[in-house]
């Protein structure tokens, strides 16, 4: 086996009993979170639909999604959804946002009643405009929904590097319990009862990460980058407000925190997608960029709700091939001048 060693269980939560945690999704984030749950002292099962991924994780690696990272023993990977969910105390949904509905449909008949379903994907459903929590509430009405979000690259978390995230649920006590159970030495989980705020922050930052990559790729300069991220954050907060998100939530880990991370690093797949766009490179075959479908639906939501969101509209139009980056810059820079309002 090659790759750096990743410890399996370096810290457990004193006073918290071990849970049986099931992770749905064998990609980069699902595998990283499975490792994080092991370190927090839980028994971990991981469902992946791809038998090759299951076999690879069983052999201590996930070369397709986390190349070069050794997976500590202890994760029970399976393609059998019934076996994955049997007796689970908690389920983490870690497939892409646009696949959540299909993933839950597969899980539905085997999902134990009453256990929390924690959303770890970041996005808004492209076809319906539904937040991911609404999809869970529709398909799994007997399972309380929570969301885990914040600045956390899968490779960083898989390696056990330190970061902080937020775990949100409408029920404050559930959020606090999950945050305590998921926390480990290098994963500090804050809790929040603003589920919608945490979801919106994680979903929309991806759109601006694409924009940031495009600004860099097109050589528009660091000043343009900072101006775009600042005004983008205003748009994020406007859309958040329309969904009932609390502004202070969006100032936190799952809004500003994740925006800072993914708008400044080519380690972000959304940033990398934007970078390729800005450089005029081919986009086909690039890794998952959740901001692509989210930009389209966020732009539609903004129009439907009368929200001023010109950067989101520009990103959606560029991705759609309707305008070029240069045309978008001209349109944004020639808007009527106005007072700087940050709400």
Ligand X SMILES: O=C(CO)COP(=O)(O)O
Which residues of this chain interact with ligand X, rule CB under 6 A? Answer: 122, 151-153, 206, 209, 258, 261-262, 268-270, 290
Cβ proximity to ligand NDP: between 136 and 328 the closer is 136
227 CB-near residues (< 8 Å, 6+ apart): none
Partner in contact with 274, chosen from ligand NDP, ligand X, none, beta carbon below 5 to 8 Å by kind? none
Binding residues for sn-glycerol 3-phosphate: 122, 150, 152, 205, 258, 268-270
| Strands laid side by side in the 117-119 sheet | 75-78, 43-47, 20-24, 90-93, 117-119, 145-149, 163-169, 187-192
Q: Which residues are annotated as a binding site?
A: 29, 49, 65, 122, 150, 152, 154, 205, 258, 268-270, 288, 290
Shortest distance in whole angstroms from residue 273 CB to ligand NDP: 12
Q: How far is the CB of 31 from ligand NDP (least distance, A)?
A: 7
Q: Establish whether 205 is a catalytic residue.
A: yes
**Residue 251 burial (CB < 10 Å; 0-12/13-18/19+)?**
middle
- Asked if 166 and 192 count as a contact pair (C-beta separation under 8 A), the reply is yes
Return residues touching ligand NDP (CB under 6 A): 25-30, 48-50, 53, 65, 94-97, 99, 102-103, 120-123, 152-154, 288, 290
Does residue 314 come out as left (phi exceeding 0), alpha (psi in the -120 to 50 range) or beta? alpha
Q: Which of 16, 43, 205, 338 is catalytic?
A: 205
Rounded Cα–Cα distance for residues 184 and 162 (Å)? 10
27 binds, among ligand X, ligand NDP, none (CB under 5 to 8 A by kind): ligand NDP
Smallest distance, ligand X to C-beta of residue 257, A: 8
Q: Which does 213 bind (CB under 5 to 8 A by kind): ligand NDP, ligand X, none?
A: none
Rg, Å, the chain Cα set: 20
CB of 336 to ligand NDP, least distance (A): 35
CB burial string 172-192: b at 16+ within 10 A, e below = eebbbbbbebbbbebbbbbbb
Pick what 75 binds: ligand X, ligand NDP, none; C-beta below 5 to 8 Å, kind-dependent.
Answer: none
- Is the CB of 133 or the CB of 206 nearer to ligand X? 206
Strand residues in the chain grouped as ranges (E): 20-24, 43-47, 75-78, 90-93, 117-119, 145-149, 163-169, 187-192
128 or 326: whose CB is closer to ligand NDP? 128
Active-site residue numbers? Answer: 205
């Amino acid at each position: 086996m090659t790759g750096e060693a990743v410890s399996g269980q370096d810290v457990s939560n004193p006073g918290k009993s071990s849970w049986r945690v099931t992770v749905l999704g064998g990609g980069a984030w699902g595998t990283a979170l499975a490792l994080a749950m092991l370190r927090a002292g839980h028994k971990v099962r991981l469902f992946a639909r791809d038998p090759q991924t299951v076999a690879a994780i069983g052999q201590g690696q996930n070369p397709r999604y986390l190349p070069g990272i050794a997976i500590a023993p202890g994760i029970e990977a399976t393609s059998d959804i019934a076996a994955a969910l049997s007796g689970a105390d908690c389920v983490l949904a870690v497939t892409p946002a646009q696949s959540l509905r299909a993933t839950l449909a597969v899980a539905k008949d085997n999902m134990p009643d009453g256990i929390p379903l924690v959303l770890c994907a970041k996005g808004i459903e492209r076809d319906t405009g539904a937040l991911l929590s609404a999809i869970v509430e529709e398909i799994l009405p007997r399972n309380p929904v929570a969301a885990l979000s914040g600045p956390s690259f899968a490779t960083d978390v898989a390696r056990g590097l330190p970061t902080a995230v937020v775990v949100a649920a409408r029920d404050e006590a559930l959020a606090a319990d999950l945050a305590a159970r998921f926390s480990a030495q290098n994963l500090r989980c804050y809790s929040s009862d603003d589920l919608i705020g945490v979801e919106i922050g994680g979903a929309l930052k991806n759109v601006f990460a694409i924009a940031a990559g495009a600004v860099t790729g097109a050589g528009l300069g660091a000043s343009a980058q900072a101006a775009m991220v600042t005004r983008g954050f205003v748009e994020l907060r406007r859309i958040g407000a329309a969904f009932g998100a609390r502004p202070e939530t969006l100032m936190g880990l799952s809004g500003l925190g994740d925006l800072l991370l993914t708008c400044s690093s080519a380690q972000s797949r959304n940033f990398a997608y934007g970078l390729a766009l800005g450089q005029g490179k081919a986009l086909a075959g690039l890794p998952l960029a959740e901001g692509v479908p989210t930009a389209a639906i966020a732009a539609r939501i903004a129009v439907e709700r009368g929200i001023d969101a010109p950067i989101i509209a520009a990103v959606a139009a560029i991705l759609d091939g309707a305008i070029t980056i240069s045309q978008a810059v001209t349109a944004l820079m020639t808007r009527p001048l106005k007072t700087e309002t940050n709400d």
